[in-house]
Amino acid sequence: MDPIVFENIRKTYDGKVALEQINLSILRDQTTAVIGPSGSGKSTLLQLINGLVVPDRGKVYVYGDEIDYDNLAKLRRRIGYAVQGTGLFPHMTVKKNITLLASLEDWDKEAINRRMRDLMDLVDLPSSYTDRYPHELSGGEQQRVGLCRAMILNPKIFLLDEAFGALDALTRSEIHQEFLKLQKMEARTIVLVTHDLREAIKLADQIVILNEGNIEQVGSRTDIMENPETEFVERFVHMQLEEEPVEFQK
């Protein structure tokens, strides 16, 4: 069974439909990008996976089991989650931010430090940064710390909600390269919410396009670009990519 499965999902907020009749499987150890206009249901779809959002109807399966909403802490310990702005604790050092979850899980101190060093090496964070605080870091460095923190427990599922959206173009490109390196070194199931089709094409194996709470198309980047299934997908792709051609970088 695929690691994440949505079955007949419907979700509303104050009577307004956010998602309708969602049936979707997320590919194992690959990156799935969820993209669409503002208000299309992207973040809601992502937050269904870790129980931040509960569907009005339908079921969400993670690791083959239907989500147990009475025991979400256990589920969330197995899922990495990073959002725009990183959400780092400002009063904690880089080391404490990265290792917090491992400490709460009572990992051995040596194992914690080893995992932290490995992750910092993967994202090119100098070891001298461990005693710095978030305000002493650039936006890109903070994002790298956020990635390390989300991956400290080596989760097999990793959720990214517009995690790179606040970065400038150069830093964003650098973070993309770190992301691709991480996925190559430690392959995992990743769900990436983004408003940027170029980012989705660069990073994702599978792309899900949402519109007004409905799935318009699911496919590879080639499928999306060359074989749009609906008029909306065709217009959306054209609008996003009309400025310049896209180069695949994976």
Q: Please give the radius of gyration of the chain, using alpha carbons only, rounded to the nearest integer.
A: 18
Please report where in the chains the tokens 């609008």 appear, as a residue.
239
Paired tokens of 238: 């054209």
Instruction: Give the domain extent around 22.
Output: 4-241
Tokens describing residue 89: 């604790």
Where is mean pLDDT largest: 155-164, 172-181, 235-244?
155-164
152 in any annotated domain: yes
Q: What is the 3-state secondary structure (H, E, C) of 198-242?
A: HHHHHHCCEEEEEECCEEEEEECHHHHHHCCCCHHHHHHHHHHHC
Task: Please report whether residue 220 resides in a domain.
Answer: yes
pLDDT tens across 44-56, in order? Answer: 999 999 999 999 9
Question: Where is pLDDT greater, at 35 or 74?
Answer: 35
The count of structural domains within the chain is: 1
pTM (2 d.p.): 0.84
Q: Mean pLDDT across the stretch 211-222?
A: 95
Residue 139 lies in a domain: yes
What tokens appear for 57 in the block?
A: 């109807």
Would residue 27 count as lying in a domain? Answer: yes
For residue 169, pLDDT beyond 80? no
d(CA 178, CA 91): 26
Inside any domain, residue 46: yes
Q: What is the pLDDT of residue 243?
A: 57
Pairing of strands 79-83, 157-161: parallel
Residue 247, domain member (yes or no): no
Does residue 205 lie in a domain region? yes
Determine the Cα angle at 55 with ends 53 and 59, to 5°.
115
pLDDT of amino acid 164: 73
pLDDT tens across 7-28, in order? 999 999 998 999 999 999 999 9
- Is residue 233, in this structure, part of any structural domain at all? yes
**CATH assignment of the domain containing 227:** 3.40.50.300
pLDDT at residue number 250: 45
